[in-house]
Chains A and B, each alone.
Chain A
Amino acid sequence: MGRALSAPLRATDAPTTLLQTIKFSAQPVRGNYRTLLAGAGEEFIPRFDLLGRTADEARVRSRRSLYYFAHLSDIHVIDAQTPAVMDASQSIAPKLFADACRPQETLTVHVLASMVDAVTASQASPVTGAPLASAVSTGDSADNLSHLEARWYIDILDGGDVLANSGAAGVYEGVQAWPEATFAYHPEDPAGDVFGPLGYPTVPGMLTAAVSTPVQSQGLPVPWYAVYGNHDATFLGTFRPDPTLFAWAVGDRKAATAEGLVFNWLQGYASDLSAAQMAANAIRQQFGLLPGIRAVTPDPARRLLERTDFMQAHLDSPAVPGPVGHGWTQANIDTGQTWWSADLTPYLRVFGLDTCNMASGADGAVPEDQFTWLEAQLAQCETEGQLAMVCSHHNSLTLDNDAKPVWGGQRLVHAEEFVAMLMRYPVCIAWLNGHTHVNTIKAHPREGGAGGFWEITTASCVDFPQQQQLVDVVDNRDGTMSIFVIALDHAAPPTWAQGDLSQTGLASLSRELAANYQLSNPTLLAGSALDRNVELLMPAPFDLSAITDVAVEAEQMKARAQLVAHRGAA
């Protein structure tokens, strides 16, 4: 144990985008369809936006890591077979509902397990060699307010086996197998759907493999934290669920076409159906006479999440990797308060916000009570000389939702006011978020001089490029600090080998399908070179020598012990 703790971690082992990127083939292989392949790595680019000048090169020799962690977001684990999904809406407005039925939607658990592998392989910072200490997930971990989706994502991050199936055992029941659902990709034979002419591949057995073989996850080697995203809080990430939707989720009718979707919807809202009418509908459905509706195997495990269920699911997880609750505690359940704070170290506090709007809309806002609480907390960090990071799902482009319940509600704070508040507290060095699925790193400079904070938005696990981030917070020991951000691909090979239906093979295939899904604008989601592997410089908010080397080393020793214990358990 002692030898393991003192052994240097090998930073170069990490398969990050510093060493290798993933590129599209120069030419399509069929139609518009391109495969993926390995490309050259991307070096760090220093960003001076908040420094107002270039940096002293001597920092490379003097710097020390204060905290190294992983940033996950928009994992979007999907139960693709649930009746409570509006995949058929894609045939009404493909661009508007692009996220309702992705070609890769049965493979999200496989991707997440592969991302866990990538994070685990990155347990030494590629910059400083510091040990990985934690991970934070900034929301949209589930896709559609589903209890199963929440459970699957938590179990993959905690470690264990997950069978990504619901309904009938070993059988996929959903639009990707139903020929009338021409808006969906049919891997068994795409010739009759909209993806066939685009060159999407025929992959016999993909759906069966996805729902019949458990996905094995080694689990994250470090404690991880989570916040709410709009897909964890509302139906379709947009609507407040009502009793009709709760009934759909555990029912036996699934829409295969737009007609079926509308019929289901209207039937659900019709409260005056007679018993005879309901019986007639049941018989018509049994014989396939209801338009666009199929019978599926009902599953009570598909129930939709109530407001505190998502937090409770996090409390129902093991102590390792922990922490139990992953940021939330029993007090959150008792009070209904959906946000939290945690001391990652004695000198770094993280705040997990809930920016979801429960009235309607995918975008977010900060309710005034949370805003007031956060400001008081940041003032305390300022007084106590503690660095701070804020985590939320929504970012400064999407903190603009003003929808309120019809009976009123508290004031909602939007991006401009929120950014201005964070700016008042120099100890707030970073705001981590997601939501848009685009790698984006934005400087928020303070008026009239250097300083401010960095806003760090990561891409998603579900859409191309299926990347997350590693983050190393560094003291340059010259009055400046740097936040290194590294884009991280999941561990599955860049190129999918034809016919490979293994766990990692399906994760590779998912990335390839996502890369070709033009409705999501995949090339935009990768962000620019200034949004991936970067060194984000800024003035130190206080004399960082107050954080002693002894204190830093003690924290890193704890982190190393976590990693060693994980290796021992594995």
Chain B
Amino acid sequence: MRRSILALASAVAATMLAGCSQVASLTPVGESSITSVRSAANNVLVDQEVPILVAPDCTAVDSGFTCVGSTIDGAEILVTAAGTAPYDMTVSVGGSVIFEGNAQAVLDAAVLEGS
């Protein structure tokens, strides 16, 4: 009985979602991969005291995400990141890599005691 009702529940949920043109908008608010990458990249730049003129603006690409910004002295800020959690990413300034790691770890570290 329990199994059949759960199956029914799943079927109703699936039908509900499949019949709705707004499936993407049903995802929990705040759950945004592009926001994770953008926020983590910003934290890396601030932590390493990069003089930011234009903060990186992120866009989705085939391989994940690319974010581009610039420093006060005109160097390019380039962030490339995977499209799936934990979002492995590389942050470069003026062609030099200043960070390699994952975005989720940066976000988690930023709220820890002593950070």
Chain A residues close to B by CB (< 8 Å): 23-26, 37, 39, 45, 47-49, 52-54, 74, 89, 92-93, 95-99, 238, 258-259, 261-263, 265-266, 291, 357, 360-363, 397-398, 400-403, 435-438, 440, 442-443, 445, 463, 519-531
- A463 and B30 contacting across the interface, CB-CB below 8 Å: yes
For A48, what are the chain B residues with a Cβ–Cβ distance below 8 Å? 52-54, 72
Partner of B22, one of A24, A259, A401, A519: A401
Asked whether B55 is an interface residue with its Cβ less than 8 Å from the other chain, the reply is: yes
> Do A524 and B107 touch (CB < 8 A)?
yes
Known interface pairs A258-B6, A291-B5, A530-B55; A96-B35 also in contact (CB < 8 Å)? no
- In the complex, 29 of the A-B residue pairs with CB atoms within 8 angstroms, ordered by the A residue number, are A23-B112, A23-B113, A23-B114, A26-B113, A37-B113, A47-B52, A49-B53, A52-B53, A74-B29, A92-B10, A96-B27, A98-B31, A99-B28, A262-B8, A362-B22, A397-B32, A397-B34, A398-B25, A402-B21, A403-B21, A436-B30, A438-B39, A523-B107, A523-B110, A524-B31, A524-B39, A528-B38, A529-B46, A529-B110
How long is the Cα–Cα vector from A108 to B62 in the complex, in angstroms?
41
Q: Is B13 located at the chain interface by the 8 A CB criterion? A: yes
Cβ contact within 8 Å between A525 and B30: yes
Whole-angstrom CA separation of A258 from B11 in the bound complex: 12
Distance between Cα atoms of A89 and B20 in the complex (Å): 17
- Give the 10 A-B residue pairs with the shortest CB-CB distance, closest first: A361-B22, A528-B42, A363-B25, A528-B39, A361-B25, A259-B5, A437-B30, A523-B107, A529-B46, A98-B28
Question: For the complex, what is the distance from the CA of A403 to the CA of B108, rounded to whole Å?
Answer: 36
Residues of A within 8 A of B72 (CB): 48, 54
Q: Is the contact region of chain B dominated by helix, strand, or loop, or is it mixed?
A: helix
B71 to chain A, nearest CB (A): 10
B39 & A531 in contact (Cβ 8 Å cutoff): yes
- Asked if A93 and B22 make an inter-chain contact with CB atoms under 8 angstroms apart, the answer reads no
Q: Are A361 and B9 in contact (CB under 8 A)?
A: no
B80 in contact (CB, < 8 A): no
- Cα A74 to Cα B30 in complex, Å, equals 12
* Contact partners of A363 in chain B: CB under 8 A: 22, 24-25
Q: Judge whether B13 and A521 touch: CB under 8 Å.
A: no
A99 with B29: in contact, given A89-B13, A259-B5, A529-B43 (CB under 8 Å)?
yes
Given A48-B72, A362-B29, 14 additional A-B pairs, CB 8 A: A37-B113, A39-B115, A259-B6, A262-B8, A262-B12, A357-B22, A360-B22, A361-B25, A403-B20, A403-B21, A403-B22, A523-B110, A524-B30, A528-B40
B1–A238 touching, CB < 8 Å: no
B66 CB-CB contact with A under 8 Å: no
Instruction: Tell me whether B113 and A436 are in contact (CB under 8 A).
Output: no
Query: Known: A92-B13, A262-B12. Is A438-B35 also a contact (CB below 8 A)?
Result: yes
Instruction: Give CA–CA (A491, B40) in the complex, Å.
Output: 27
Residue of A nearest to B107 (CB): A523
Taking beta carbons and an 8 Å cutoff, which residues of B are in contact with A? 1-2, 5-6, 8-10, 12-13, 20-22, 24-32, 34-36, 38-43, 46, 52-55, 57, 72, 104, 107-108, 110-115
Query: Known interface pairs A45-B46, A99-B29, A262-B12. Does A523 touch B111 (Cβ–Cβ under 8 Å)?
Result: yes
Question: Which B residues are in CB contact (< 8 Å) with A49?
Answer: 53-55
CA distance A362 to B32 in the complex (A): 14
In the bound complex, CA of A96 to CA of B110 (Å): 26
List chain B residues, Cβ under 8 A from A463: 30
- Of chain A, the residue at the smallest CB distance from B17 is A96
Distance (whole angstroms) from the CB of B25 to the closest CB of chain A: 4
Q: Find the A residue at minimum CB distance from B20.
A: A360
Least Cβ distance of B68 to chain A in Å?
A: 12
- Given A23-B115, A89-B13, the answer on whether A524 and B35 have CB atoms closer than 8 Å is yes
Please, which residues of chain A bring their CB within 8 A of the CB of B36? 521, 524
State A355–B12 Cα separation when bound (angstroms): 29
Please report the C-alpha to C-alpha distance between residue A53 and residue B5 in the assembled complex, in whole angstroms.
Answer: 63
CB distance from A269 to the nearest CB of B (A): 10
Interchain nearest-CB distance for A47 vs B (Å): 7
| Residues of A contacting B112 in the complex (Cβ-Cβ under 8 angstroms) | 23-24, 26
A523 touches B108 (CB 8 A): yes
Contact (A361, B5) CB under 8 Å given A99-B28, A262-B12, A520-B28: no
On chain A, the residues within 8 Å of B20 by CB distance are 360-361, 403
Q: A270 vs B42: C-alpha distance in the bound complex, in angstroms?
A: 53
With a CB–CB cut-off of 8 A, which chain A residues contact B57? 442-443
Contact (A263, B111) CB under 8 Å given A438-B35, A524-B35: no
Cβ B114 vs Cβ A26 within 8 A? yes
A160 to B31, CA, bound (A): 35
Q: Is the CB of A436 within 8 A of B53?
A: no
A77 to B57, CA, bound (A): 33
What's the Cα separation between A23 and B109 when bound, in Å? 10
Tell me whether B25 and A261 are in contact (CB under 8 A): no
In chain A, what residue has the closest Cβ to B112? A24
- Given A360-B21, A530-B42: A262 and B9 interface contact (C-beta under 8 Å): yes
| Contacting residues, chain B, for A93 (C-beta < 8 A) | 13
The residue on B at minimum CB distance from A98 is B28
Decide: A436 and B42 in contact? CB cutoff 8 A: no
Q: How far is the CA of A402 from the CA of B22 in the complex (A)?
A: 8
- Which residues on the A side are within 8 Å of B9 (C-beta)? 92, 258-259, 261-262
Q: Closest approach, in angstroms, between the C-beta of B99 and any C-beta of chain A?
A: 14
Distance in angstroms from A73 CB to nearest chain B CB is 11
How far does the Cβ of B30 sit from chain A's closest Cβ, in whole Å?
Answer: 4
A457 and chain B: residue at smallest CB distance? B35
Docked complex Cα distance between A361 and B25 (Å): 6
> Which residues of A lie under 8 Å from residue B21 when comparing CB positions?
360-361, 402-403
Q: Contact check, A440 vs B13: say whether CB atoms are below 8 A apart.
A: no
Q: Hey, which chain B residues are within 8 Å of A26, CB to CB?
A: 112-114
A92 partner residues in chain B, CB cutoff 8 A: 9-10, 13
Contacts of A23 in B (CB 8 A): 111-115
